[in-house]
Chains A and B, each alone.
Chain A
C-alpha cells in the first residue's frame, strides 16, 4: 500500500497575540508547527504502515522553511518527503492550493491520500475535499477511526458528525481528512531524528506539476481578500474587585436591570 499524506506548516495560533497599540497580529516569535490535524493524519498513515507495511510519502506546499515539518515527518517514520515550493504558488486560496497538490498527486503512485481536516491558521477544511474532486476520487472528512482489511482490501472509516458518527466503507482510491483528536501522534524517535537529516527532502517547483500557471497561486484563486482587520472588541463594562457578598449584590442588580429576575 502506498499512502500520500498532505501536511501544512502553520503558526501556532494559540500563541498569537494582538498588539494592543497597533491592533495588528504579532507574528514574530510565534512558533511554526506541523498542523495538528495533519499530524493526526500522518499518525493514521504510520499505523497502516506498522500493520500492513505501507509506504508513506508526505507532501507540503509552502515556503522553503516548511522543510522542517517534512524532517519531523521523517523522524516520525515517513519514507519520502516532497516540498512543493515556488513563488508562482504564492497567494493561493484553497482552490489554487488544491489544484497544485492534486498536481503533485498525479505525478506519484498511491492508493490512499490522507490529509488533516483543517489547518489552524485558516480553519477552512476545504483543501482536502477539493483535491479529491480534482482527482475524481471519493472523500471522507472528519475521520476519527480507520480500519483496513487486507484480504478484501476494504477500508472501514468512522466519520464524526455533530450528533454521533457514520460508519462508512470503501474499496479503491480515496482521500480521507482526519481529526487530530482521534489519535495520539507518535513522538519522533531518536533514530528517526538522526535518519531525518540523512534523508533527502525532494524540492519541487511548479514546473514539476502539470498544472497550467493560470490555475496556480494568486492568479488561480477565485477568492480575493478585500481587507483583513482585528476585531473591534466591544466597550468593556466596569470591573469590580469586591468580596463575595458585594459581588452577589452587583450581579443581582445587573440581572434586575436586564429583567432576567
Chain B
C-alpha cells in the first residue's frame, strides 16, 4: 500500500515537473502592445466602489468623473463652477434657495431619462434616513450637503434645493464627486451592488470590473457634450509605486498617475511626457497654541522662519511641490491672496525671535506619520524639519505613528500630547479647510479639526461671513483678508502645496491634469 503510493508520488512529481518545464518554455515571450483607442491608466489602488455617494478616495474619483456628470462641474483648468447637467441656476436673495434648470434630452447609460425626479432621488437617497434606498450606503461624505433641507421637483426639468441657512460652498460641493448623479433605475435594480454596476450620464459607460485587475469603461457615443475619440479606458490598480513605474517603462500602461518623485528621472526620454499641476492641497505643521512654547506667537513665527521650505520641496520632494505661503492653496486662484509671500528661510531671525520670547532650547514633541493621503514623504520631511528646528535651538523629539493611529492621536487635539504634528488637506472649496481647522468653534471638543487650538475672533468672523456671502467677489475679499491674518498669527508652519504629476507615453495626446486632481479623459486621444 505505502509502496504504491510512494511510487505514484514519484512518478507524479516527475510528470508534473516535465509538464511544468514544457509549459514554461512553450509560452510565447512576446508582449502584446496595447491597442490604439484603448487608454490604459495605472491607478494607485483597487477602487472601493463606483457609487459616487459612497466613496471618499481620489483614486475612485478618477474613474467616477468619467462615468458620471454632476449638476455643475469645474471649468477646465480652474476650481470655478460651470454648468453641466444643470444649464443654469438662480440663487434666492437670502442665499437659501437654489433653483436649477436641467439640460433636456440627457439619458442615463441604461436608457432612462435624466430629470428633476432623478436629482431628487439622488440627494434623498444620501440625506434621508427613511429613503427606501438609504441602506445602499453608508454615505460618508453626505455632510457636504447637510445644509440641504429639502429637494423639490418644480417641473420635470426644474429642481429646487432649500438650504437651512446660506451656505456659499454649496455649488462647489455639487461639483465634487459626491454630487455626481446616478441612475435611480439602476440603484433600484442593483441595490447595495450598485457600486459594482454603476450607471451614470458621463462620457464613458461602465463595461466590466475584474476584481484587482481592471475596471473597463467604454465611450458613450451619445454623450451630450460630444463623444470621446477613445474607444475605451482601462483602469489598472497597481499599488506598488516601483511596479507602476516599471509597467510604464515597459509599455504595459499608457498613463501613470502619482509618479514617485525619485522615479521622475526615468521618464526624461522622448517617448514620455511628464505633466504636473498644482492642486488644492496644503501640507503644514499644526502647532499647539494652547500650551507649551507655541502658545507664544513669536515662537510660532520663529518655527516658520526656521524651516527651510525650499530645500524640502526641491530636495526631499524633488520639485513635486511648491512652497506654501499661507493656509489657502494658490490653486483656488479666485480666493487666493497673491500678495502673500512665504516666510523666508531665516535661521538668524528665528533665533532672535526665540531669544525675545525667552524660549531658547524649548523641548518639542513632534508627531510624524508614516504615510497617509496627501502626506507626501512624511518621515523624510519630518526629520528634515527636526534638523532645521534644532539648528535654531529647539530640542525636537519625533514620535512616529501609522496613519490611522496618527489621525486617532491628532484629531482629538494635541493638548497634553504634542507641540506639533504633520498634516495635509485636499479640499474642493477655499471654505473647507480654514472653516474646519482654524475657527475657535472648530476646536476638537466642538467637533472640528482645529487640533492646535488656534483662536482669533477676527478670523472666526471673516470665515462665518464668507460662508454666507453668495457673491464670489465678496467671498474672495474675505478669504484674502483671513489669509493675511492667519499667516501673521502662524498657527501652522506653512510648508508645501503638492503638484499632482502624471506621465503619458508618446501614443497619448490631449491629456491634461486638472487643479481639482480629477482625471478627465474625454478629450484624450490614443494612437
Q: Do A and B come from one complex?
A: no
